[in-house]
Chains A and B, each alone.
Chain A
Amino acid sequence: AQSVAQPEDQVNVAEGNPLTVKCTYSVSGNPYLFWYVQYPNRGLQFLLKYITGDNLVKGSYGFEAEFNKSQTSFHLKKPSALVSDSALYFCAVRAVNKFYFGSGTKLNVKP
């Protein structure tokens, strides 16, 4: 069965520090991997995706993600967190015609 896991419900980080939001997946075949961000009372916004090629993917707002095939992980990272990065983050996998989402990780960036 296809699944996506985000092991941390919440991540707390101080402004200016690096951040990591973890994601692991279980999908048959070659997956397409995505990160989305959701601000309060808004829809999800696309951040970045991995299709193939370089394992480090760069996306919007200074975010990047590292694909690790052997660990089936796709962790979201940012070198220096901003208070405005505080939001709910979702990892997702596209397997053929279906999308599977993780349960979400709330990122809190404190001044």
Chain B
Amino acid sequence: EAQVTQNPRYLITVTGKKLTVTCSQNMNHEYMSWYRQDPGLGLRQIYYSMNVEVTDKGDVPEGYKVSRKEKRNFPLILESPSPNQTSLYFCASSETQGHGELFFGEGSRLTVL
């Protein structure tokens, strides 16, 4: 089954404690990206990757890092989480061709105390 898998689905942490949200896709997609969803703001793109070792900033990259060492994996790293990063996070993948639609994971709800 084609899918994007995120872990963990739910996480409560404290300010400053580094965390990583993993994302893996089994569709051999070259394009992967991370979003945060906040009420009234829709989804905002954090980072995206066109291929292995190629990453770029989205609209809200501050406080986040990503890496793309393998085609199927695209982890999101919060080096020093703060309460304003409490949000619902989605990983998604797509074919690289310009009009490919996104396939989303189930989401990771993060709370930073």
Contacts and interface: CB of A to CB of B under 8 A. Distances in A.
Nearest to A46: B101
A44 B99 contact: no
A104 B43 CA distance: 9
B90 to A, nearest CB: 6
Contacts of B4: 43
Nearest to B98: A32
B41 interface: yes
A44 B40 contact: no
Interface stretch (B11-19, B66-74, B75-83, B103-111): B103-111
Interface size class of A (residues with CB under 8 A): 20 to 34
A32 B99 CA distance: 6
Interface in B13-62: 31, 33, 35, 40-45, 48, 50, 56, 58-59
Contacts of A94: 98-100
Interface stretch (A61-69, A79-87, A95-103): A95-103
B104 to A, nearest CB: 4
A11 interface: no
B113 interface: no
Contact of B33 (A43, A96, A99): A99
A41 B105 CA distance: 11
A90 B90 CA distance: 14
Contacts of A104: 42
Interface string A1-30: 000101001000000000000000000000
Interface of A: 4, 6, 9, 32, 34, 36, 41-46, 49, 51, 90, 92, 94, 96-104
> Which A-B residue pairs are the 6 nearest by beta carbons?
A43-B104, A101-B43, A103-B42, A101-B42, A32-B99, A51-B99
Given A4-B42, A94-B99, A97-B56, 15 more contacts: A32-B98, A36-B102, A36-B104, A41-B107, A42-B107, A43-B4, A43-B106, A44-B90, A94-B98, A97-B48, A98-B45, A98-B58, A99-B33, A101-B35, A101-B42
